[in-house]
Amino acid sequence: MRTYAFFKNYKNDIFLLEFYPKISKLTKMNIALLGFMGAGKTIIGTLLAELMDYQFIDLDRYIENRFKTSVADIFATKGESGFRDFEKTALTQVLRYKNVVVATGGGTPCFFDNIEQINQSATSIYLQFSPEILATRIRFDTTGKRPLVKEQTFEELVEFTRIKLEQRESYYMQAHITVSLPVATPYEIADLLFRKIQTQR
C-alpha cells in the first residue's frame, strides 16, 4: 500500500507526490530517474544533481561515450535487443558510482533485472505523465535521438505512447517515489524532489 501527499507548486496547481510508506528513510546515495521518453529525465536530473551537488549521468549519452557509437546506430545495426545488452552493461557500471543522479532510458527498467538493480543501488523516482503530454513533447524534440518513433505521425505517436506505457507502467511503478506533475516547470519538480529527499534522509 502506498501513501499520497498533495502539494501546491509555485503556480498553485495541485500535483501528486506518491511514495511507499516503507521508505521512511532514503539511505541510497544515488538517484535514478525513471519514465517514458519525453518525461524530462535529463533536464530534471541535471537540475537535481546541481541542487544535491551530485554528478549527473544520462545513461544514453554514457552508452554513446562508452561504446563510441550513437544510440540510433546501435538500434540500426544491432536492433533493440542488441541495444538492451549495451544498456544493461552501462547501467551496471554507472550504478557502481557514488553520489550520482542517473537519467535512465525509457525502457531501461523493463528489461532483465534492471528495476531490481536500480532499486538496490539508488533511490528511484518515476516521472509520470499522460500519453498526450509525452507525445507532444516527443513530437517537438528536435534532437533526432528518438529511434523508436522518428517516422511516426502525431496520432501514431500518441497511440504508440499509450501502448508502451501500458506495457511499462508496472515496472515504473516499482520506483520508490512516483511524481505526477502535469503542470510544473523542471526546476519546480527538481526542487520538490530535492526537498523530499532531504527530509527523508
User: pLDDT tens per residue, the chain (201 residues)?
Assistant: 343 444 434 344 444 555 443 344 555 789 999 999 999 999 999 999 999 999 999 999 999 999 999 998 999 999 999 999 999 999 999 999 999 999 999 999 999 999 999 999 999 999 999 999 999 988 887 565 655 676 788 899 999 999 999 999 999 999 999 999 888 999 999 999 999 888 877
Q: How far is the CA of 63 from the CAs of 90, 104, 152, 166, in angstroms?
A: 6, 11, 25, 26
Task: Show Cβ contacts of residue 134 under 8 Å, excluding neighbours closer than 6 positions.
Answer: 36, 37, 38, 39, 161, 165
In this predicted structure, what is the pLDDT of residue 183? 83
In this predicted structure, what is the pLDDT of residue 18? 54
Q: Any bridge partners for residue 18, and if so which?
A: 4, 178
- The answer to whether position 83 is within a domain reads yes
CA–CA separation, 106 vs 145, rounded Å?
A: 12
In this predicted structure, what is the pLDDT of residue 25? 53
In this predicted structure, what is the pLDDT of residue 198? 83
- The answer to whether position 82 is within a domain reads yes
- The answer to whether position 199 is within a domain reads no
Total domains in the fold of the chain: 1
Indicate the angle between helix axes 131-139 and 154-172, nearest 10 degrees.
Answer: 120
Range of the domain at 49: 3-194
Helix (H, G, I), strand (E, B) or coil at 179: strand
Consecutive H or E run containing 180: strand 177-180
Helix (H, G, I), strand (E, B) or coil at 103: strand
Residues constituting the chain: 201
- The answer to whether position 200 is within a domain reads no
- The answer to whether position 201 is within a domain reads no
CA–CA separation, 111 vs 105, rounded Å?
A: 11
- The answer to whether position 188 is within a domain reads yes
- Lay out the sheet containing 14-19: strands in order across: 3-8, 14-19, 177-180, 122-128, 30-34, 100-103, 55-58
Residue among 62, 5, 32, 60 at smallest CA distance from 127: 32
- The answer to whether position 111 is within a domain reads yes
CATH number of domain containing 150: 3.40.50.300
In this predicted structure, what is the pLDDT of residue 151? 75
In this predicted structure, what is the pLDDT of residue 182? 81
Do residues 52 and 28 touch, judged by C-beta distance below 8 A? no
